[in-house]
Copies of this chain bind each other. A is one copy, B any other.
Amino acid sequence: MHVLILGAAGMVGRKLVDQLCEAGSVAGREITAMTVVDVIEPESPAADKHAVNWAVSTAAADISVRSEVDALIAHKPDIIFNLAAIVSGEAETDFDKGYAVNLNGSHNLFEAIRQQNYRPKVVFTSSIAVFGAPFPDAIDDEFLSAPLTSYGVQKACSELLLMDYSRKGFIDGIAIRLPTVVIRPGKPNKAASGFFSNILREPLNGQEAVLPVSLDVRHWMASPKRSAGFLIHAANLDTNRLGARRALSMPGIPVTVGEMIEALERVAGPERAALIRHEPDETITRIVDGWPRNFNTSRALELGFTADNSMDEIIRIYIEEELGGQLG
Contacts and interface: CB of A to CB of B under 8 A. Distances in A.
Interface of A: 95, 132, 136, 141-148, 150, 153, 156-157, 160-161, 163-164, 167-168, 244-245
Contacts of A136: 142
Contact of A157 (B141, B157, B245): B157
A132 B168 contact: no
Nearest to A130: B160
Nearest to A142: B144
Given A132-B244, A157-B157, A244-B132, A164 B146 contact: no
Number of copies of this chain in the oligomer? 2
A179 B167 CA distance: 24
Contacts of A156: 160
Contacts of A164: 147, 150, 153
Query: Can you list the 3 inter-chain pairs with the closest CB atoms, starting with the nearest?
Result: A153-B164, A157-B157, A144-B144
A164 B153 CA distance: 7
A241 to B, nearest CB: 15
Given A145-B160, A146-B245, A150-B168, 15 more contacts: A132-B244, A142-B144, A143-B144, A144-B145, A144-B245, A146-B163, A147-B160, A147-B163, A147-B164, A150-B164, A153-B160, A153-B161, A156-B160, A157-B160, A160-B160
Contacts of A146: 163, 244-245
Contacts of A167: 148
26 contacts: A95-B168, A132-B244, A136-B142, A142-B143, A143-B144, A144-B144, A144-B145, A144-B245, A145-B160, A146-B163, A146-B244, A146-B245, A147-B160, A147-B163, A148-B167, A148-B244, A150-B164, A150-B168, A153-B160, A153-B161, A153-B164, A156-B160, A157-B157, A157-B160, A157-B161, A160-B160
A211 B168 CA distance: 28
Contacts of A245: 144, 146
